[in-house]
Amino acid sequence: MVDKGSLVADIGSDHGYVSIELIDRNIASKCFAVENKIGPYTTLVANCLSHGNIITSLSDGLTQVPSEFKTVIIAGMGFETIKNILLDSKDKLDYIEEFIIDSHTLTHELRAFLNELNYSIIDEKCIIEKSIFYEIIKFKKDNSTKLSQEDLKFGPLLRKEKNDDYKLHYENEIKKLESLLKIENINEERRKEINEELELIKRNI
């Protein structure tokens, strides 16, 4: 999802593997790898010693990201953490043109939040790995196309493409919901909610 020649900041870089791959594959021209925990940061620095075009930073979120880095990757954390990172550095949004985000929770809220910040979804990928469903979303700053509730829940591009992992994930969700309906003592209000959720998923797979 990273455009060739981009200057990329990787937030929560851990050991720096994303930045290293971007440089080694000649995708990014320079990376700014951010890690806020001293243990992983020490390994990050060691891993990047042979890469002069990777700058490392022991810092939080976007606080130290220079304005030349227009593309920001945030992966491997939950939505609330991602939201706080952006809210803590709202001034940085003046120059950040693209976010590539892999949120491990509440992707529907992530889409809505970035949409409110005037970023539109220009690419989405989903994959199941070790039984976990990941959604990776690329946002670009513009006047922002407003998203429907189904766009927010399923992803405007994912629900059009409907790749095999997307279908498998929501087929499994259907099975879980149908098994809930077999519980005899479930109250009618909850039963109605489950049926509505089933209908919504079936319309989008």
pLDDT digits (tens, 9 = 90+) for 118-147: 999 999 999 999 999 999 999 999 866 789
Q: How far apart are the C-alpha atoms of 51 and 23, rounded to whole Å?
A: 8
Amino acid at 1: M
Structure tokens at 110: 């992530």
Residue 29 is predicted with a pLDDT of 97
| DSSP bridge pairs for 100 | 73, 138
For residue 30, report the phi and psi dihedrals to the nearest 5 degrees: -155, 145
Strands 132-141 and 119-129 come out as antiparallel
Q: Dump pLDDT digits (tens) for 14-68.
A: 999 999 999 999 999 999 999 999 999 999 999 999 998 999 999 999 999 999 9
Structure tokens at 165: 């992992």
Distances 134 to 20, 77, 102, 107, 130 between C-alpha atoms, Å: 22, 12, 7, 9, 10
Helices (H) and strands (E) in the chain, counts: 8, 7
